[in-house]
């Protein structure tokens, strides 16, 4: 009986080791899927960062063009001191009112 008890203990120990290995296999499989998703997200983020850099460069170019256009507009609003005549009050012709018609 002693040999039968030892074999039973060894069989139970092997069963526990096999169960542990199957559990480890499940954990490793889950970890592999998680790592694959992480790698895919990192690649997508890398592409997004490149696109964001291009967008930032385009915004900077547009801002420079807009600033130059605003400067030109401000220059057009200011009269040229060499050609401007004396500025004085301007009187507009008066429109006749309803009683004057």
| Structural domain includes residue 46 | yes
> Between residues 17 and 86, which one has the greater pLDDT?
17
| Of 85, 66, 64, residue with least CA distance to 74 | 66
Q: Which residues of 20-46 are buried (b: 16+ CB within 10 A; e: fewer)?
A: eeeeeeeeeeeeeeeeeeeeeeeeeee
Domain that holds residue 19: 2-78
Is 85 part of any domain? no
Tokens of 11: 């069989």
In a domain, residue 61? The reply is yes
Classify residue 98: in a domain, yes or no. Answer: no
pLDDT confidence of residue 98: 77
The domain tally of the chain equals: 1
Identify whether 19 is part of a domain: yes
pLDDT at 100: 62
**28, part of any domain:** yes
Instruction: Reduce the DSSP state of residue 57 to 3 states and report it.
Output: helix
22-75 pLDDT, tens digit each: 999 999 999 999 999 999 999 999 999 999 999 999 999 999 999 999 988 888
Computed over every residue of the chain, the mean pLDDT equals 87
């Amino acid at each position: 009986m002693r040999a039968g008890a030892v074999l039973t203990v060894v069989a139970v120990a092997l069963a526990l080791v096999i169960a542990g290995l199957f559990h480890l296999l499940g954990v490793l499989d889950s970890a592999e899927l998680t790592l694959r998703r992480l790698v895919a997200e990192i690649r997508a983020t890398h592409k997004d960062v490149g696109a964001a850099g291009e967008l930032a460069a385009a915004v900077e170019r547009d801002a420079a063009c807009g600033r130059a256009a605003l400067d030109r507009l401000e220059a057009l609003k200011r009269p040229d001191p060499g050609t401007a005549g004396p500025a004085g009050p301007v009187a507009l012709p008066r429109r006749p009112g309803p009683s004057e018609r």
